[in-house]
Amino acid sequence: MAKSIDVSDVNIYYGDFLAVEGVNMSIRARAVTAFIGPSGCGKSTVLRSLNRMHEVIPGARVEGKIVVDGHDLYGAGVDPVAVRRQIGMVFQRPNPFPTMSIYDNVLAGNKLNSKRMKRSEADDIVEKSLRGANLWNEVKDRLGKPGMGLSGGQQQRLCIARAIAVEPEVLLMDEPCSALDPISTAAIEDLIHELKSDYTIVIVTHNMQQAARVSDETGFFNLKATGEPGRLVEFNPTTKMFANPDDPATEAYISGRFG
């Protein structure tokens, strides 16, 4: 069910401010693509434009084409809600719904859309998603407890379970480990490796070791200069990117000489 994404000539604005300019790349299906780069260079902005979450912010808009499975996400008559049902997202800070139990949090995507299902069917989805997110063994005895009672790492895995419960084609992750300790981070990285076989995954990270560990392909974003819009400097297989990058700026960033 995984799908590839083709991004061509994308400019992203916040009101009149051009935040990211001229992005071209093609994200492979069933692979992990990482976005790296210094803060404020537009990695998260590009990520959020991939499932039309960017326009949730007032005044924000996107120019150019983002094509998933032959459909332009920004074409006329495309419903952003339908796009988001196919392209799920995990955020930087874990954000389980505070009014819901662990069980209901996993089913949130189905329940909030009033999808009718049998109890056994719902149980299956919950177990499958929680197992998929490596959380089942930790929470199977307290599914009725509030999701907010879990630890930070568990909450983030709960959010991943919630995102994969609606069976999206693509999973976007916006710095999913930046609020987590190394053990939870390792758990989530293992999870990303497992999810790769079923989903197209795009992950934004500040941690270059993480990008090197989990991703197949990497995009390096940078600002042209201070005050200028961000742009995609280089997009290459991760092994090439970290061993022999095309662009000197990439090498400088990866080797720690700048950024």
Interface residues with another protein (CB under 8 A) are 51, 53, 56, 58, 81-86, 88-89, 91, 93, 95-99, 108-109, 111-114, 145-146, 148-149, 159, 162-163, 166
Which CB atom, from 48 or from 208, has the smaller least distance to another protein? Answer: 48
| CB of 95 vs another protein, minimal distance in Å | 4
C-alpha dihedral (116, 122, 132, 66), degrees to nearest 10? 0
Element (H, E) at 26: strand 17-27
Q: How many CB atoms lie within 10 A of CB 200?
A: 25
Tokens matching residue 232:
């995609």
The three state secondary structure string of 201-216 is EEEECCCHHHHHHHCC
Which CB atom, from 112 or from 243, has the smaller least distance to another protein? Answer: 112
Q: At what angle do helices 119-132 and 182-195 cross, to 10 degrees?
A: 110
| CB of 166 vs another protein, minimal distance in Å | 6
Which CB atom, from 88 or from 245, has the smaller least distance to another protein? Answer: 88
Q: How many CB atoms lie within 10 A of CB 117?
A: 13
| CB of 233 vs another protein, minimal distance in Å | 28
The three state secondary structure string of 110-139 is HHHCCCCCCHHHHHHHHHHHHHHCCCHHHH
Burial class for 253, CB neighbours closer than 10 Å (0-12, 13-18, 19+): buried
- Residue 156 near residue 101, CB atoms below 8 Å: no
Which CB atom, from 98 or from 182, has the smaller least distance to another protein? Answer: 98
| CB of 239 vs another protein, minimal distance in Å | 31
| CB of 137 vs another protein, minimal distance in Å | 19
Phi, psi of 255 (to 5 degrees): -80, 0
Which CB atom, from 105 or from 238, has the smaller least distance to another protein? Answer: 105
| CB of 183 vs another protein, minimal distance in Å | 20
Residue 14 in 3-state DSSP? Answer: strand
| CB of 212 vs another protein, minimal distance in Å | 27
